[in-house]
Chains A and B, each alone.
Chain A
Amino acid sequence: MKIGDIDLKRSWPALAGIGAIIAVLAAAFAWTSGLLGQRVTNMTFLEDTQHDFPAGYRRAHGKGMCFEGVFRSSGEAAKYSHASVFAQPETRAIGRFSIGSMSPYAADNSTSTVSMAMMLTADNGQQWRMKMNNEPYFPTRDAPGFLEMMKATAPDPSTGNPNPQQLAAFLAEYPEARKYMEADAVKPWASSFAGATYYAIHAYYLLAEDGRRQAMRWWLRPHAAFTAWSDEERAGASHDALFKEVGQRLTKAPLQWDIVMQLAAPGDPVDDPSQPWPETRQQVVAGTLEVQRVFDQTDGVCRDVNFDPTLIPAGMALSNDPVLATRAGIYAHSYNSRLHEIGYGKATDAVGKKTAQ
């Protein structure tokens, strides 16, 4: 049989081979892009969490306020890293305070997680971006563990409490999460952004000019004293209490945080965000952040930024912490979705336009 000038009798093995090659390539591409298969990808990670708020907002930590300030280096970290931010005296900082709830309309007493995101841009143009929470470590060793924890701790609709069997099964698979859950249960509720400590959580490497690599974790240690809400104070706190409070403080004086770097000793787990290092490890103060002014998060200067914790300057390197890598992918999708909405004019509140009444 012939089709055009192709003799099927002679050519069918070749045609089948070509078809198979094309099919395999197409299937491999579809799988890699997440179209084929059921695995969790960066795209589907947050799929189940509903977002019932308007277009243009961050898919988590939606409520926030931007800040502007300056980072003054102490010169101490320059011994370990050749990144310019550690050598030059002053670096411009922009950042964002936020709370851990998803919705931009959440009340400030709806979560005990307060956060700071920041970007430092050195004179040579090199950027250092970070997203930090007021928790010293991550609950689980990897990101899928975080999804498991969400499922295991979600209230069972019939009892209103988490299902004990599910919880036990989760803790058997992720025993490290127990210490996080215990600490979380008694975690004090910060009553001010100013007195909170913000942890980067993941380890990074400092790279010296001479090739030395030093594993390190940093956090931002406040100059202001930590203050907590009592249960009654929290229950009575106003809807925007935290954001109002930080704005008021800044009308009086700037706020400061030291960037504290904890240096790993040989053998410390570098790639596991659920394992903090002993408190006795050597610490280096890289410098001090001064937050000078807050402004509305509808301003593009920080609205349109993804404070991606994997964007670091030359002179630093990422660890192989799997949660760090996953966060980069999840943030990329959240950022793409919201910039898409803003770019195509679908966002109203998020860009400071009021919705039609």
Chain B
Amino acid sequence: MTTETRTVTKTSQANEAGQPERFNLLARLLHWTMAAAIIAMLFIGVAMMTSLTWRPELLDLHQPLGIAILLLAIVRLVNRLRHGAPALPADIPRWQVISAKASHWVLYALMFSLPLLGWGVRSAGGWPVTMLPGVTLPPIAPTHPVWYAVLRDAHGLLAWLLFAVVLMHLCAALMHAWVRRDGVFSTMTPGGLYHRYRRNRK
């Protein structure tokens, strides 16, 4: 890669303050795969507590997928801390900027705490934490009814909180995309869409 192309890339991706104009490829890839996985996990979680037929299969899926989310969340957080996030448009009211930032950190907190709590629930109940038949993770909490009761409640309550925050987040994202049309949505979309959208705006 020559110096020249690098400069070009740089100016097209970052504003004067050094903030990127959009999320980098890794952030975008992780965001959309994890969005799908997390929404699936929420449905799998509640379905395995109600379904007369699918509980065993759903639980077999719930545990490894949840742990995969935990691992991806680590990569995502590191990437986010190293590369930052694009600034929001200047005309967005202050309360919205604050709530956008706060909700993103709440989402991060839940991406970490839910899988850890789930792992803890299985541990506290004396259950194996099965990834694949014969492949289990070690327990991370003592096997004890007090631990089980508290962790199980926390996992269930925070999962519902996550669902509520995801709905708000989705609502906000679509407001940016379809109502305000301010380019915030396309900071998270593939390059092609981003450029076409930018052209339309000008």
Chain A residues near B (Cβ < 8 Å): 5-6, 11, 14-15, 17-18, 21-22, 25-26, 28-29, 32-34, 40-43, 45, 125-127, 143-144, 300, 304-306, 310-311, 313-315, 317-318, 322, 324-326, 328-329, 332-333, 335-336, 339-340, 342-344
Contacts and interface: CB of A to CB of B under 8 A. Distances in A.
A18 B128 contact: no
6 contacts: A5-B91, A17-B178, A32-B47, A328-B56, A342-B145, A343-B147
Contacts of B43: 28-29, 32
B167 A26 contact: yes
Given A29-B46, A127-B128, A329-B51, A18 B145 contact: no
Given A17-B178, A25-B167, A322-B52, 19 more contacts: A5-B91, A5-B180, A11-B179, A18-B179, A28-B43, A32-B43, A42-B51, A43-B49, A304-B126, A305-B126, A325-B51, A326-B52, A326-B53, A326-B55, A329-B48, A329-B55, A336-B152, A339-B152, A344-B149
Contact of B171 (A18, A32, A34, A313): A18
Interface in B42-76: 42-43, 46-56, 59
Nearest to B92: A5
Contacts of B91: 5
Nearest to A327: B55
B133 interface: yes
A317 B57 CA distance: 11
Contacts of A25: 167, 170
B88 to A, nearest CB: 14
Rank and list the top 3 A-B pairs by shortest CB-CB distance, nearest first. Answer: A343-B149, A314-B134, A14-B178
B120 interface: no
Contacts of A326: 52-53, 55
Given A14-B178, A22-B170, A32-B47, A143 B145 contact: no
A29 B52 contact: no
A21 B174 CA distance: 10
B102 interface: no
A17 B149 CA distance: 40
A207 to B, nearest CB: 8
Contact of A22 (B51, B127, B136, B167): B167
A29 B159 CA distance: 12
A350 to B, nearest CB: 11
A11 B52 contact: no
Contact of B128 (A126, A305, A333): A126
B175 interface: yes
A329 B179 contact: no
A42 B52 contact: yes
B146 to A, nearest CB: 5
A310 B52 contact: no
A322 B167 CA distance: 34
A25 B43 CA distance: 10
A21 B170 contact: yes
A145 to B, nearest CB: 11
Contact of B145 (A15, A17, A21, A300): A300
B163 interface: yes
Contacts of A317: 133
Given A6-B179, A21-B170, A314-B133, A33 B46 contact: yes
Given A314-B133, A339-B125, A343-B146, A32 B46 contact: yes
A18 B54 CA distance: 31
B157 interface: no
Contacts of B56: 310, 318, 324-325, 328
B148 interface: yes
A304 B145 contact: yes
Contacts of B48: 329
Given A33-B46, A126-B128, A340-B149, A41 B52 contact: yes
A155 to B, nearest CB: 27
Interface string B117-144: 0000000011110000110100000011
Contacts of A314: 133-134
A25 B38 CA distance: 14
A332 B145 contact: no
A317 B132 CA distance: 12
Contacts of A43: 49-50
Contacts of A329: 48-52, 55
B178 A18 contact: yes
A339 B149 contact: yes
Contacts of B180: 5-6
Contacts of B133: 314-315, 317
Contacts of A125: 128, 136
B55 A42 contact: yes
Nearest to B148: A339
Interface in B160-202: 163, 167, 170-171, 174-175, 178-180
